[in-house]
Amino acid sequence: MTHNDRSEGKLPQVPKPYWRDFIDLPEFPRLDKDIHVDVVIVGGGITGITSAYLLANEGLKVAVLEAGKLLNGTTGHTTAKITAQHDIIYDEFIQTMGKSKARLYYEANMEALSFIKKTVDQHQINCDFSIQDAYIYATTEQYASKLEIEKKAYERLGIDGELVDHIPFDIDIKNALVMKNQAQFHPIKYLTHLIQIIKEKGGLIFEHTTAVNVETGEQPTVLTRKGSRVTGSHVLSCSHFPFYEGLGFYSTRMHADRSYILAVKTKKSFPGGMYISADQPTRSLRSAMVNGEEMVLIGGEGHKTGQGKDTMEHYKALETFSEQVFGVNDIVYRWSAQDLITIDKIPYIGEITAGQPNILIATGYRKWGMTNGTTAALLFRDMILDKKNAYQNLYTPSRFYAHPSLKNFLVENANVAAHLIKGKLELPAKNANDLSNGEGAVITIKGHRKGAYKDDGGKLHIVDTTCTHIGCEVEWNNGDRTWDCPCHGSRFSYTGEVIEGPAEKPLQRHDHTMLDNLASEDSGY
């Protein structure tokens, strides 16, 4: 890697996840005709692929529609921990939902872990699967006492865990809570094998095929951007943010959160286990084999998408932490991830709205998609086959827990409204002539707010900053060179192309309004 490939320090200049490297990923065509199948699956990540694998095994004809490339969304940007230890949550779940639902959440995620292990064993998938203990550690007295309370929740729920007073790193901790026998793996190697099985069983897979809407009815039909239609008995929305919301108003019930990851060649060897800090800013640690060499994946620095400081600062903070704890020989990859967080922190999995059993949705994994995505696929299979599933009521999107959901609902939508209004009122003083090569910013052109990026060759790329979802104003993400929406987490390339939904259309080159989006036939509303 030349000097020019590096930004300041040892950070790679361009963000790129490790998982897709060194893998011969299959390619699939764009859908160019109308088709009819048993189940239409929108989204080619862990939820969609696992669902297709399970349903194809049951003899159903499935079609997977992926807007971009398979396994290149949230699944391709994960830390790939397979665990039921999702931060400090079990005491909170007992308080807000009761002991039985809290226990069900633990069981669902452990069942997902067990399913992944069994599938790896059954098909002898070489995907670096290994059993690891998972630790949450506290560096302050405040969080040490929270871990003590969480340990009592573990005891009440029958979770195999214990408090310890040290971890094998140069981090001064007060205590740590360990959950035994969790796991980690290489998700792309695992899912690539499932894709092969889906193909062998006659499943259809299409890439570069953007689903934009659903015609409801006994046989719902998914409409695509290019006009092709896919009809089936069931539609599964597995597209991270729902490509179709129906009357579920998911935009109002979730927010998007970003986090950052480095793959580091360290001076000190990694002692095993998976770790996450209880304190903020979050620090997440695990090892990974990168082209036959062990590296440490160091993640954290979460914040709401499109909000906060220059995103390069988050990468630099992780670089500093890596140097302090392990010593850094090289930082081989850096990337960021995004996930959606529901009001009560439990994913929405099930009927898109009550009484619509043939359109099912899975979203809001709160950065724990390996188990939650697998849980969703297992639940979808049972719902489609009309089998009883113990977790259906826990995850149903139509649930409503009065506390703390109502307060969080109001806070979340006040936040969206504030950003919607704030962005419209701001007219930055900067203009295009002020930009250096490789710099992006919101500028003013003839009294209008525009987004500008001057590439490394000096070419200027101008976009309208009105997000094509519901009209919030996007902000420049310097670390990833993208335009990010602070309201619902849509992300666009510097040329305006959609990287992540809920937006389905690129940023415009002309002035655009919120009404244009909502009135559009393929808005998903």
CA distance 214 to 229: 9
CA distance 92 to 89: 5
* Cβ-Cβ contacts under 8 Å for 59 (sequence gap 6 or more): none
Q: Is residue 432 very low, low, confident or very high in pLDDT (cuts 50, 70, 90)?
A: confident
Render pLDDT for 51-95 as a digit per residue (tens, 0 to 9): 999 999 999 999 999 999 998 877 878 889 999 999 999 999 999
Q: Is residue 418 very low, low, confident or very high in pLDDT (cuts 50, 70, 90)?
A: low
Show the domain range for 431: 427-517
* Cβ-Cβ contacts under 8 Å for 414 (sequence gap 6 or more): none
In a domain, 349, yes or no: no
In a domain, 102, yes or no: no
In a domain, 257, yes or no: no
pLDDT at residue 499 greater than cutoff 90 = no
pLDDT at residue 402 greater than cutoff 90 = no
What torsion do the CA atoms of 97, 100, 371, 277 make, to the nearest 10 degrees? 60
CA distance 492 to 475: 10
Number of separate domains in the chain: 1
Render pLDDT for 186-207 as a digit per residue (tens, 0 to 9): 999 999 999 999 999 999 999 9
Q: Return the structure tokens found at 184.
A: 């980690």
Cβ of 235: how many Cβ atoms within 10 Å? 28
* Residue-level pLDDT at 441: 87
Q: Is residue 307 very low, low, confident or very high in pLDDT (cuts 50, 70, 90)?
A: low
CA distance 417 to 415: 5
In a domain, 396, yes or no: no
* Residue-level pLDDT at 417: 54
CA distance 525 to 513: 16
Distance of CA 241 to the CA centre of its chain: 9
pLDDT at residue 167 greater than cutoff 90 = yes
* Residue-level pLDDT at 308: 61
Say which range, 47-51, 155-159, 406-410, 441-445, has the weakest mean pLDDT: 406-410
Say which range, 46-60, 424-438, 455-469, has the weakest mean pLDDT: 424-438
Q: Is residue 357 very low, low, confident or very high in pLDDT (cuts 50, 70, 90)?
A: very high
In a domain, 498, yes or no: yes
In a domain, 493, yes or no: yes
In a domain, 334, yes or no: no
Cβ of 297: how many Cβ atoms within 10 Å? 23
Distance of CA 497 to the CA centre of its chain: 19
Cβ density class 420-455: b for 16+ within 10 Å, e for less: beebeeeeeeeeeeebeeeebbbbbeeeebbbbbbe
HSE-up of 511 (CA within 13 Å, CB side)? 7
CA distance 488 to 82: 26
Render pLDDT for 332-348 as a digit per residue (tens, 0 to 9): 999 988 888 998 999 99
Q: In what side-by-side order are the strands of the sheet with 448-454?
A: 439-445, 448-454, 460-464
pTM of the model: 0.82
* Residue-level pLDDT at 206: 98
In a domain, 125, yes or no: no
Share of the chain above pLDDT 90, in %: 59
Mean pLDDT along residues 153-176: 95
Q: What is the DSSP string of 57-94?
A: HTT--EEEE-SSSTT-SSGGG---EE-S--SS-HHHHH
* Residue-level pLDDT at 411: 56
pLDDT at residue 1 greater than cutoff 50 = no
**Tokens 């392990």, residue located:** 326
pLDDT at residue 523 greater than cutoff 80 = no
* Residue-level pLDDT at 422: 53
Q: Is residue 127 very low, low, confident or very high in pLDDT (cuts 50, 70, 90)?
A: very high
Mean pLDDT along residues 489-499: 86
Render pLDDT for 91-124 as a digit per residue (tens, 0 to 9): 999 999 999 999 999 999 999 999 999 999 999 9
Peptide bond into 281 cis (omega under 30): yes
Q: What is the CATH number of the domain that holds 501?
A: 2.102.10.10
* Residue-level pLDDT at 243: 87
How much is the CA Rg of the chain, to the nearest whole Å? Answer: 22
Mean pLDDT along residues 484-495: 84
Render pLDDT for 319-335 as a digit per residue (tens, 0 to 9): 999 999 999 999 999 99
Render pLDDT for 208-252 as a digit per residue (tens, 0 to 9): 999 999 999 999 999 999 999 999 999 999 988 888 888 888 878
> Mean pLDDT, the chain, as a whole number?
88
